[in-house]
Amino acid sequence: MLRGIHVPLVTPFDASGEVALDAVEKLAHRALDEGAAGLVALGTTGEVAALDPAERARVIEVCARVCAERQALLTVGVTGNDTRSTARALRDLPEGAGAALVTVPYFLRPGERGVVAHFEALAEETPVPLVIYHIPYRTGQAVGAATLREVGAHPMVAGVKYAAGGIDQDAVDLLADLPENFDVLGGDDVFVSPLLALGASGGILASAHFATRSFADLVDAWQAGDAARARALGHRLARLSAALFTAPNPTAIKGVLHAEGLIPTPDVRLPLVPADPGTVAAAHAVVRQEH
């Protein structure tokens, strides 16, 4: 279900600060036109914490309509660090969501037993398959391969967005022995190629707002065993990703999208501030090399 590249869409704002829904729709179609297998709405890249409930609902509505038209998977980010409110958010997901991206509980650091209990409880409540979002440098909670394997054995847990900050021993161990019907998606853009080489099925990559077709080709090359092509693509796309992450996500990405005429403003909401012009120009230069 999770094979390929899934683009976690930015949330564009217009000059008045409102969500630019027409730009959301255009970005969604563009990503799918260029080879994305699916979209992620309301992820970190979408500044979900800065959106009010009505704005979140409108973003999901637009993305769900596009994905239904295009027969693509829509994954919706679900926020919350306690089990009860997260389960409620899952139950309230609107029609059109095909999966839910759920972060390992953040800040509380419940321990790995708590992580297992949390996801097992959610798996019994959710109307759609869950994708665990493992990002310990944001959550403060380490999760080992054995824990992910245990949670991943549940039929309502479809996979994990793996964003540990690199290729660690747990990634190697997990990919060597995956539960049935459990996929690993790269979540650290710069490291997606080596993770694919180890057996990941795709990625949720903010960088894939650009060079989407090349990222999709990277997945195909590794899965076809064409290592020479995959390595060359991987090195090139890692440079692209590094350029787009020289400022906090999604500030440089929004800056380049605006420079390309794809969104009405480069604006983000506090506490994020826009990437400085030099950073945007440098990232844009790398993006242009991919055109």
Q: Which residues are catalytic?
A: 133, 161
Kindly state the average pLDDT of the residues 213-230. Answer: 98
Q: Cα 117 from chain centroid?
A: 24
Kindly state the average pLDDT of the residues 234-238. Answer: 98
Per-residue model confidence (pLDDT) at position 210: 98
Distances (CA, A) of 91 to 10, 61, 130: 24, 16, 12
Give pLDDT tens digits for 83-123. 999 999 999 999 999 999 999 999 999 999 999 999 999 99
Helices 111-125, 145-152: inter-axial angle, 10-degree rounding: 20
Query: CA–CA separation, 193 vs 247, rounded Å?
Result: 22
Query: CA–CA separation, 209 vs 203, rounded Å?
Result: 12
Q: Does position 80 have pLDDT exceeding 90, yes or no?
A: no
147 labeled part of a ligand binding site:
no
Per-residue model confidence (pLDDT) at position 196: 98
Per-residue model confidence (pLDDT) at position 149: 98
Per-residue model confidence (pLDDT) at position 1: 77
11 labeled part of a ligand binding site:
no
- E-state strands within the chain: 4-8, 38-41, 73-78, 99-103, 130-134, 157-162, 183-186, 202-204
Give pLDDT tens digits for 115-133. 999 999 999 999 999 999 9
Instruction: State whether residue 208 is helix, strand or coil.
Output: helix
**Alpha carbons within 13 A on the beta-carbon side of 267:** 14
Helices 212-224, 227-244: inter-axial angle, 10-degree rounding: 150
pTM greater than 0.85 (yes/no): yes
If you average pLDDT over every residue of the chain, what do you get?
97
Element (H, E) at 216: helix 212-224
Per-residue model confidence (pLDDT) at position 165: 95
Query: CA–CA separation, 14 vs 25, rounded Å?
Result: 14
Q: Which residues pair with 130 in a beta bridge?
A: 100, 157
The verdict on whether omega for the bond into residue 271 sits within 30 degrees of 0, i.e. cis, is: yes
DSSP string, 134-190: E-HHHHS----HHHHHHHHTSTTEEEEEE-SSS--HHHHHHHHSPPTT-EEEE-SGG
Task: Give the pLDDT band of residue 71 (cuts 50, 70, 90).
Answer: very high
Tokens 């409620």 sit on residue? 88
* Residue 19 DSSP label: B
Q: Do residues 105 and 114 make contact, with C-beta atoms less than 8 angstroms apart?
A: yes
Give pLDDT tens digits for 243-279. 999 999 999 999 999 999 999 999 999 999 999 999 9
Domains of the chain: residue spans and CATH: 4-226 (3.20.20.70)
Give pLDDT tens digits for 48-70. 999 999 999 999 999 999 999 99
